[in-house]
Amino acid sequence: MAKAIMIQGTMSNSGKSFFAAALCRIFKQDGYSCAPFKSQNMALNSYITSDGCEIGRAQAMQAEAAGVIPSVLMNPVLLKPTTDVGSQVIVNGKAVGNMTAAEYFKRKKELVPQIMESYAKLSAMNDIIVIEGAGSPVELNLKSDDIVNMGMAELAKAPVLLVGDIDRGGIFAQLLGTLGLFEKHELDMVKGLVVNKFRGDISLFDSGRDILEQRGGKPVLGVVPYLGCDIEDEDSLSHKLDSKSSKGIIDIAVISLPRMSNFTDFDVFAQYDGVGVRYVKKYDELGTPDMIIIPGTKSTIADMKWLRESGMELAVGRCAAKGVPVFGICGGFQMLGESISDPLCCEGGGSIKGMGLMKCRTVFGVEKVQTQSEGNFSDIDGFWSFLSGAEFRGYEIHMGTTESDSPELLDCGGAYEGNVCGCYIHGIFDSQYVSERLVRHLYERKGIAYRGGNVNREEYKQSQFDMLADGVRRSIDTDMLYRIIEEGI
């Protein structure tokens, strides 16, 4: 069975996912077989494994850092929020239904056997398991029957590292306050502290390290600087979603839907010279970009209603009428059509008129499509002809089926109508044959020759994992890390 190390944080977005990814990469570099694990994840960014199972995007990213194939064993429970008080519950990669928070809270302990079965299988195949917690481990009203923080640490007999985010301020209150709220047996499992996202001269925090160790009674494993690595972020608090981000020569506007999913689909564009991506929440922020993307969503009808009521539908329609290209992914593709219907209440029920920019109609059914996909763009006439024959790879996660009278965009579906198109493929832009042609075309529409090269997304991601691991390795006591893992609890 594998040794384990667990990463818990003082709050959401403290850097747990990135720190766990860094450890996965470090262990891989040091010759160990390693895998990530998160018993319960809540995220709208998800990934489909090769066998058609849905897991959190962060665990897929961490698996890539560890150099292993993403598996459903790495994230046995995934919650995808559908409303402010409810989520679709996914167990072992398959949806089992929608539950309110109260309903799930009452039933979550029933999932422990399935969680531990996944953990045991993963443990049997690896030397080290890097377990990630969720949010804060000391939300006192939610601690009973915990299955993701200290409850998971106890089940896995995993020593815990507690990560705090100094960039957001209050690092002493974060770390010391969290330690102070642990029960005695929980506190005994905490073996070290990590100060994360430090900006400036780290030597200025030497006295801070001493204070933490004296008052907290736990060693500080390291002070990690704010690393400028371009790693996929699953959290809705991501700085990438700031609508005030600067425009590039090429201005791509992504409509920031209230329940937007898989915004990592568009990370690849940051690798191209002169291309800026903005996430737009208000219609008056849209302007006239060079391209508009409507992303995926977990609640298509509700977000279509938001588009209409917020004025964003009208703003996008005006841009499309001016010739601005519009590309819809998954739920965004569905919204671009004529109608969306949910007769079986798969996502809340009802029906709504779509934007009407393509001749497509979507009906939700009980079956959820979860598959990896690859193929080619069709032989396209008109505006999108520059993508004809381009190879793509990606994955599909959707409830609806779409009938279309518009020409087919891909050899496996999708549609296009003039300067508007859409499909169900998440990750379609990661293919350099797609994103490079698209960027080049957008430059040419502005009368500018694109002089950048092709982007190999996979090579770039691997280089960023190495950069992340190197930055963390230089900042922590790796001898102490391995000693903590070896000694366990």
Q: What is the DSSP letter of 272?
A: S
* Known catalytic residue at 330: yes
Distance in angstroms between the alpha carbons of the first and the last residue of the chain: 15
Q: Could you give the 3-state DSSP secondary structure of residue 50? A: coil
Q: Which of 259, 260, 277 minimizes the C-alpha distance to 268?
A: 277
d(CA 470, CA 201): 18
d(CA 198, CA 184): 30
d(CA 410, CA 387): 10
Amino acid making up residue 103: E
Whether the CB-CB separation of 59 and 46 falls below 8 Å is answered with no
Q: E strands, 346-484, where?
A: 350-353, 360-376, 391-404, 415-417, 420-423
CA torsion 164-167-172-174 (nearest 10°) is -50
Identify the helix (H) or strand (E) that includes residue 329. strand 326-329
Q: Which of 439, 432, 412, 435 minimizes the C-alpha distance to 423?
A: 412
Q: E strands, 49-189, where?
A: 54-56, 77-81, 86-91, 94-100, 128-132, 160-165
Q: Which candidate in 319, 421, 423, 426 is catalytic? A: 426
Q: Which candidate in 34, 229, 319, 330 is catalytic? A: 330
Token pair listed for 360: 């497509």
* Known catalytic residue at 239: no
Identify the helix (H) or strand (E) that includes residue 359. none
Whether the CB-CB separation of 165 and 13 falls below 8 Å is answered with yes
Q: Could you give the 3-state DSSP secondary structure of residue 219? A: coil
Backbone angles phi, psi at 317, to 5 degrees: -60, -40
Residue 194 to residues 171, 198, 246, 371, 404: CA-CA distances in angstroms?
10, 11, 32, 38, 53
- Catalytic annotation, residues: 330, 426
